[in-house]
Amino acid sequence: MSSYRVNASSSRTICRFFANGHCRNGPNCHYLHTREGNSPRNRNSDGDEQNSYNTGGSSSSTLHKSNSNSNYRRSNNSNNRVPPESLLVCKYFLEDRCMFGDSCWYKHEKSNNTKGIDTVDSNENDLKSQKDKQKAKEVVVEDEYTCAICYDTPKTFGLLIHCDHIFCRDCIQVWRKTSNVSSPFQDVDTTKTCPVCRKNSPYVVPSSRFAKAGPQKEQIISTYKEKISQIPCKYFEGSGKCPFADECFYQHANPDGSRCKLGPPKKKKPRSFIRYFSADGDLDLSAISEIIDGFQFNIADWDDEDEGSWDDDDDDEEIYFQHHGSTDWASNSNGWSWGIETNNVIEHDEDCPPDWRNIY
């Protein structure tokens, strides 16, 4: 602080405290003690206040101090004692705590301008405020979008075709893929549906905006389809075949550019049960024993799309496990049920009364 003052003394600037009549350094002051006209600020403050002002001790005075330094000189030279800042309203005055009182550089008046406009253009303002409120509501609503899977606000929405539930694109895609990945228990029938309402949805449309069912959503879906119809289908490109055939959204282009017709897609059998067979058609006992622990389930209706070696007509090798959750025990009773239970609690058909099927 002191070194700064020594440096500053070389420039022969006028001491602004002296100009106000209260320089505590008196004749030892590094600044010029000359009186050029009246000070713009006839401050009625005592020496203590000046002291704090000088050392920057009071935090509330810093704004005045820093802003007034340069303008003071300018106004001194031009004899224009009203600094440009006086057009601004003192923010400390508005808070009723301006320590400079009337001598403050800044305007000390609580402006009623806005109120005046309010009364004159009240209608316009009402409209405006209503619009603002609506906007605010929209913002709030957007914040309320939460993915039903991760509970966060989605960055990219994954729109389902037949319902309006909200998901992140990534979340819903991970969920829809689970049936193919690791869990043998996840049913295709459940993963391809909406997690909330279980409505079937053949595909997911990524979108940066959320839209409920209506023209907006239809537009999003159609633009999405249009976009991906420009992308060559990776199945078709490789082999000229595509499992989705004509229902594929990607490009199936003939050499001349027209769309290649593949006919309707081959219908898959419903894959509601899981198949545990090795590639040569033998029952993979190790795979079964892994999941049998504590579980009983039904293997039937094999989906033989993937493994050509499996002979579908060979019914003798089909094994039915009765799934716990299924309610159609009686209808499946043609197949033989295989009760498996760990922890020595064993339930077999033989344990049941012979006529229990008649009861249920």
Partner 1 sequence: MAEAVARRLLKELKDYQKEPNPDLAKLSPISDDNILVWNAVLRGESDTPYEGGHWTLRIEIPKTYPIHPPKIKFLTRICHPNISFKTGEICLDILKTAWSPAWTLQSACMAIRLLLSNPEPTSPLNCDAANLLRCGDFMGYESLVKMYTQLYAMDQQENEANS
List residues near partner 1 by CB under 8 A.
Answer: 148-152, 165, 171, 174-175, 178, 183, 185-187, 190, 195-196, 198, 294-296, 322-327, 329, 341-347, 351-353, 356, 359-360
By beta-carbon proximity to partner 1, the closer residue of 22 and 192 is 192
Instruction: Tell me the pairing of strands 204-207 and 157-160.
Output: antiparallel
- Cβ closest to partner 1, residue 178 vs residue 251: 178
Inter-residue contact 18 to 33 (CB < 8 Å): yes
Q: How far is the CB of 359 from partner 1 (least distance, A)?
A: 6
The Cβ of residue 295 has, within 10 Å, a number of other Cβ atoms equal to: 15
CB of 285 to partner 1, least distance (A): 22
For the bound state, the minimum distance from the C-beta of residue 198 to partner 1, rounded and expressed in Å, comes to 7
Residue 294 in tokens: 């504590």
Break the chain down into helix, strand, coil percent, rounded to 5: 40, 5, 55
CA distance 51 to 330: 98
Quote the least distance from Cβ 124 to partner 1, whole Å. 42
- Closest distance of CB 328 from partner 1, Å: 9
The answer to whether 111 touches 117, Cβ cutoff 8 Å, is: no
| φ, ψ for residue 212, nearest 5 deg | -80, 170
CA atoms within 13 A on the CB side of 268: 14
Q: Is the dihedral of CA 195, 200, 204, 205 positive or negative?
A: negative
Q: How far is the CB of 106 from partner 1 (least distance, A)?
A: 47
Q: Which is nearer to partner 1, 218 or 328 (CB)?
A: 328
Nearer to partner 1, 186 or 229 (CB): 186
DSSP states along 262-300: --SPPPPPP--S---B-TTS-B-HHHHHHHHTT------
CB 347, min distance to partner 1, A? 5
CB of 110 to partner 1, least distance (A): 43
Specify the residue, 230 or 327, whose C-beta has the smaller distance to partner 1.
327
DSSP string, 19-75: HHT--TTGGG-SSB----S--S------HHHHHHHHHT--GGGHHHHHHHHHHHHHH
3-state per-residue secondary structure call for 77-93? HHCCCCCHHHHCECHHH
- CB-wise, 171 or 205, nearer to partner 1? 171
Q: Which residue, 104 or 160, is less far from partner 1 as judged by CB?
A: 160
- Please tell me the distance from the alpha carbon of residue 229 to that of residue 248, in angstroms, as a whole number: 9
Nearer to partner 1, 140 or 359 (CB): 359
